[in-house]
Structure 1
Amino acid sequence: MSTSDDNTNETFVSHLLELRTRLLYAFGGLLLVFICLIPWASDLYALLAEPLIAKLPKGGQMIAIDVITPFFVPIKVAMMVAFLISLPYLLYQAWLFVAPGMHEHEKRLMLPLITASVILFFLGMTFAYFLVFPVVFGFFSGVAPQGVAMMTDIDKYLSFVMGMFLAFGVTFEVPVAVVVMVKMEMVTIAKLKEIRPYIVVGAFILGALLTPPDVVSQFMLAIPLWLLYEAGIVVAGIMSKGSAQVEANNG
């Protein structure tokens, strides 16, 4: 076997060992946070359920259909919270793995984009929790027929809010997606402005598909999606001008 083949094999093995190390660190950090949160799992679920509880009629409550649900659902919430708390650390471990193989200009672009992605995802979840949930649950509580008590299963509620968190978290990533597409020259800023009407229509279609069937919550997803698209165009334009200025100075 040639020396080059030996070097290739050694490099491959070293990458695998590095990947194993980063995965162990990531899993260990996530597990540690999760273990620390277990004693407060029920409190975390109570906090998650507060937007619905606040909109139920006086004396209203949630229910658990399955016997094991009261135990496993709070544990799921603790796992979700542990993941969110650990997310910066998990991304840092991923960064340590991929950064050595990246060029300097790629590092300068990726680090701000990753940071912005995390912040925007958290902002999307915060927007859903504090602004969207009270409106949605107030609507459903208000339209319940006379004599019908609204008592939601805690597991189904968790599935609902997880879907909403994901929908709004991904929606708030739109500026990052726009910037990446412009920087990779997949699309121009002029083209993004040209297709603006289609984006607006698509935003309202997504709002109808991803949110409950009430007009207010659909608008609360569609309008931020549109505004974030516009913000992405603005940021991409600023970054493009900055890059052009740097190239002109270097030239």
Structure 2
Amino acid sequence: MRELQRLLGILGEVRRRLIRIAFVLVPIFAFMITFNLQWTTITWMGHSVPMVYPQFNLFYNASAQVFRWMSVHMLPPGVELLNVGVGDSVFIQMEIALLVTLILGMPWIIHEVGAFLVPALRKNERDLLRLIGIPATALFILGTTIGVLLLTPFTFLLLFKYVAAMGLAPVVGVQDFVTFALLYSLAFGVVFELPIFVYALTRLGIVKAAAWTKHWRGAVLGALIFGMIITPDNSGITMLLIALPMMALYFGGAYFAARYERNRDRRQTVVPVAGAG
């Protein structure tokens, strides 16, 4: 009976946290599919000041604006987008709206998940969670931004060079374009979490810092295999664009893991000496 009450208490807490998350995510999603953002300028004290305001539009909404930006900045000039399926345009708007909602709401999601987990964690685990929260979010945003602005456009440019070399029409379906662009960019954001993963395992005592440098060859091979799997072409260039940052991030995480162990060992050595004095 006591175990049942404990389980019901946990489920009740999960329900409460999910409702709190929904209160933030649902309005963002609703805005993305019902409003767009318009720019204007107002005159204030003799100066023109740019201002953005929402405008209700079910069809040309914020998701459609994001899609148009993606099609202009990610695809090479001359590539034509085709709406192959009847409902592709609607599905794409929903897909973009959901992704933007998750990205914008991620700090709140992390806060609520952390608040749910903290009571069940040990002190060192709570300290680690607080320590890596901001860096993990910043690295994910940085990686995704690099993927959106640099890696994905370069990959499309390279792929359509193959299309041009074969004398084919540069055409792509909107569903394929959006799905590939979003997943590819997000994958690069996940890759940037690698140093956090390495550091966290060492700080929790699961993996020694020396193990990361000892097995560096396996890490390099794993980065190359991951890059080969996730990239769509066989040129090797896009594979290296994924693999090389992964290697650098891996060694960066190994460095901070070793630094943490040195500082921890130094503190453990100094404390007994100070106590003896």
Say if 1:137 and 1:93 are closer, same or farther in 2 by CA, change over 3 A: same
Residue 147 of structure 1 and its aligned partner are, at CA, apart by: 4.3
Q: Is the 8 A contact 2:128 2:200 kept in 1?
A: no
Q: Among 8, 17, 23, which residue is 1:22 paired with?
A: 17
Check if 1:135 corresponds to 2:175.
Answer: no
For 2:202, the equivalent position in structure 1 comes to 182
Match of residue 52, structure 1, among 70, 74, 84? 74
1:65-214 → structure 2 map (5 Å cutoff)? 65-144=84-163, 145=165, 147-213=167-233, 214=235
Q: Which runs of 5+ in 1 are unaligned?
A: none
Relative to structure 2, which stretch is displaced further, 226-235 or 31-40? Answer: 31-40
For residues 9 and 243 of structure 1, the distance between their equivalents in structure 2, rounded to whole angstroms, comes to: 41
Instruction: Give the match for residue 249 of structure 2.
Output: 228
CA positional deviation for 1:151: 1.4
Match of 1:34 in 2: 29
Distance 1:101 1:47 in 2: 44
**Higher RCO (CA < 8 A, seq sep 6+):** 1
How far off is 1:114 after superposition? 3.1
Query: Aligned residues: percent identity?
Result: 21
Report the more deviating stretch, 217-226 or 65-74: 65-74
- After superposition, what is the alpha-carbon deviation per residue over 1:71-97, rounded to whole angstroms, capped at 9, x for unaligned? 221221011101110011011111111
Higher strand share: 2
Alignment partner, residue 244 of structure 1: 265
Contiguous gaps of at least 5 residues in structure 2: 36-61, 273-277
Does the 8 Å CA contact 1:51/1:133 hold for their aligned counterparts? no
Q: Could you say what secondary structure the match of 1:88 adopts?
A: helix
- The structure that is helix-richer by fraction is 1
Q: CA offsets per residue over residues 111-168 of structure 1, 9 Å max, x none?
A: 2223322222222211111121222111122222464221111111122123312321
Q: Distance in 2 between matches of 1:201 and 1:16?
A: 42
Q: Give the counterpart letter for 1:37 in structure 2.
A: M
